[in-house]
Amino acid sequence: MKIFIDSANIAEIEKYHSWGICQGVTTNPTICLKDGVRGGAEGVKKRILEIAELIDPYPVSVEVTTDEVEDQIAQGKELSQWAENIAVKITISTRKGKPLLPVIYELVKGGVTVNVTAMTTFNQAILAARAIKSGRERSSEKTAKTNFISIFAGRISEEHGVEHARDVLANVRNWLDFHEYEGIEVIVGSIRSRENVEYWAQSGAHVLTIPPRVLSDCLVSARTKETVDQFLTDARKAMEEL
C-alpha cells in the first residue's frame, strides 16, 4: 500500500518524503489556496513544478478547473506537459451529472496519466477503469505509467457508514484483480481521521491519500510516549549501577 500526501505545502511534503512514507502527492486549487499558494495559475504551476521535482518519480495529481468536456481535454493535455510525473485529476462527472468518461478515454489514449476522482460508487469506479483500459489499449504512446481511480470513502461513510465504504473499496479492488486490469490503482480519498486510515488500509486499496494533520495523528500514542519514557528511565538507572 502506498501513501499519497494531500497537500501543497512544500515543507510538509519534504518532511514525509524524507521519512520514506510519501509515494505521491495530491492537490487541488482549494488545497493550494490553504497552503499559501498565490499568483493565480502561474503561482499554482510554480508550486506544482516544485512538488514534482521534489518527489520525482512519484506522481503529483493536478486538477483541471473547467467543467466543459473539450476544455477539460485541452487543459488536461496542457497540465500533463508540466512534468513527467503529473497525473491529471478528472472528476467522474460534471456538476450537472454529465459523465466525463469521454475526457478520461481521450486523455489516456493521448498518453496522459489520469486520476479519476470524486467517485462514491462501485459502478462509477468500474466504468472509469474501463475507460482508462480502453484508452491505454488505443494509445500510440505505450507506457508503463499507472493511472488512478479515487474513491471518496469519507463521503461514502457519511451517507452509508464506514463499513459500506470499505466494502466499495474492497469490491473495486477485487474486480480489478479478477479481470486483470493492469496499470490502474485504487486511491482512498476523503480521509478525515486516523480511524479512517486504520479501517480503510485493510480494504485492499492500493493508495491512501492522507492529509498531513491526519498523518501526524497516526503517529501519536500516549501509551507509546509513556513506554519510551519508562525505557529511558530504566536504562539510565541500569547504566548507573553497571
pLDDT tens, residue by residue, 24-64: 999 999 999 999 999 999 999 999 999 999 999 999 999 99
pLDDT of residue 35: 95
Q: Are strands 2-6 and 207-210 parallel, antiparallel or unpaired?
A: parallel
Do the Cβ atoms of 45 and 63 come closer than 8 Å?
no
Strand ranges, E, within the chain: 2-6, 25-26, 60-63, 86-91, 114-119, 147-152, 184-189, 207-210
For the segment 78-91, the average pLDDT, to the nearest whole number, is 98
Residue 24 has phi, psi (to 5 degrees) of 165, 165
Residue 34 is predicted with a pLDDT of 94
Looking at the chain, the whole-number percentage of residues with pLDDT higher than 90 is: 97
Q: What pLDDT, on the 0 to 100 scale, is given for residue 144?
A: 78
Q: Is 34 helix (H, G, I), strand (E, B) or coil?
A: helix
Q: At 79, which helix (H) or strand (E)?
A: helix 69-80
Please report the sign of the dihedral spanned by the C-alpha atoms of residue 30, residue 34, residue 11, residue 191.
Answer: negative
Confidence at residue 219, expressed as pLDDT on a 0 to 100 scale? 93
Query: What is the CATH class of 2-241?
Result: alpha beta
Contact criterion met (CB below 8 Å) for 131 and 108: yes
**CA-to-CA distance for 157 and 162, rounded, in angstroms?**
5
Which band of pLDDT confidence, cut at 50, 70 and 90, is reported for residue 143? confident
**CA separation for the pair 178, 209 (Å, rounded):** 24
Q: What is the mean pLDDT of the chain?
A: 96
Res 6: pLDDT: 97
The pLDDT of residue 196 is 96
Residues 87, 64 contacting (CB under 8 angstroms): no
| pLDDT confidence of residue 82 | 98
**Mean pLDDT calculated for residue range 163-185:** 97
Pairwise CA distance, residues 229 & 224, whole Å? 9
Distance CA(3)–CA(201), nearest Å, equals: 10
Angle at 83 between CA 137 and CA 29, to 5 degrees: 100
**Is 91 in contact with 118 (CB distance < 8 Å)?**
yes
Nearest partner of 213 among 189, 232, 193, judged by Cα: 193
Residue 142: pLDDT band by 50, 70, 90 thresholds? Answer: confident
